[in-house]
Amino acid sequence: SKDWMVVDIHHIERTFKFKNFKEALEFTNKVGALAEEEGHHPDIHLSWGRVKLIIYTHKIDGLSEADFVLAAKVEKLL
């Protein structure tokens, strides 16, 4: 999907496709560097040619503004 989905009013998620494992791993590292900068870390499901990001705020077990800030910054990595 090219859009973020809101799931169970609990988290947002989006799957990014890549042409191989290497490119998916490179994207994972970019997201990881961004997460460290932001101090806000998504769950990252990396598999061959695919990265699924699941973003929510663990402290409240739900969505907060920081989640959408992170999602917007992820967009800029593409």
44 or 63, CB closer to a second copy?
44
Q: How many CA atoms lie within 13 A of 35 on its CB side?
A: 16
7 binds a second copy (CB under 8 A): no
Tell me how far, at minimum, the Cβ of 72 lies from a second copy, in Å.
Answer: 20
Say how far apart CA 17 and CA 49 lie, in whole Å.
6
Which of 16, 26, 2 has its CA nearest to residue 53? 16
Instruction: Give me the least distance between CB of 55 and a second copy, in Å please.
Output: 11
Q: Restricting to residues 36-55, which ones interact with a second copy according to CB under 8 A?
A: 36, 41-48
CA distance 50 to 14: 10
Contacts with a second copy by CB under 8 A lie at 21-22, 25, 28-29, 32, 35-36, 41-48, 58
